[in-house]
């Protein structure tokens, strides 16, 4: 199953972006980091535009996971089980959506199959991409019984 991240903003040559890409390279089905940018100033209109950009770019059959501070806090093992469950259901692609500074709007949150949190801390946007990519790799390693998870 292909695992991707849809994120707001451009990582360009930031070290954090390179770190995220390095985790994607290790995934069995090479994930993608899909970036979206809104031209609107901060606020509700920008939030709606960012969420619409993510939704409009989703493959029709993609399983959408919204990364949201109000979602369910999920362990690495629970993430691995979510991925296993998706595979068992025949889902071919899961997209993990990272919103902009204002988060996701209601439209995206309503479309999401899962709303997931990574704790209650606030993380730098570019670093969070790398953290999510690493967790996707970790989940894959848990599923195949690789010792990486326990190292």
In CATH terms, is domain 2-150 a member of 3.40.1280.10? yes
> What confidence tens digit (pLDDT) does each residue in 7-37 have?
998 887 889 999 999 998 998 887 788 899 9
Sequence spans of domains, the chain: 2-150
- Residues 73-90 have a mean pLDDT of 96
pTM: 0.93
Q: Does residue 60 carry a pLDDT above 90?
A: no
CA-wise closest residue to 16 among 141, 150, 130, 148: 130
d(CA 32, CA 105) in angstroms, rounded, equals 23
pLDDT at site 151:
54
pLDDT in tens, 132-151: 999 999 999 999 997 876 65
Q: What is the mean pLDDT of the chain?
A: 91
């Amino acid at each position: 199953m292909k695992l991707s991240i849809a994120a707001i903003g451009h990582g360009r040559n930031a070290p954090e972006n390179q770190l995220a890409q390095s985790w994607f390279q290790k995934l069995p089905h090479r994930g993608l980091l899909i970036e979206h940018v809104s031209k609107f100033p901060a606020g509700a209109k920008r939030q709606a535009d960012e969420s619409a950009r993510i939704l409009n770019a989703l493959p029709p059959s993609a399983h959408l996971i919204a990364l949201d501070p109000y979602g369910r806090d999920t362990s690495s093992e629970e993430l691995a089980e979510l991925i296993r469950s998706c595979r068992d259901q025949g889902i071919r692609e899961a997209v993990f959506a990272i919103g902009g500074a204002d988060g996701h709007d209601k439209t995206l949150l309503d479309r999401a199959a899962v709303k997931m949190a990574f704790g209650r801390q606030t993380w730098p946007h570019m670093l969070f991409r790398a953290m999510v990519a690493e967790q996707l790799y970790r989940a894959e390693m848990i599923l195949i019984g690789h010792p990486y998870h326990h190292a």
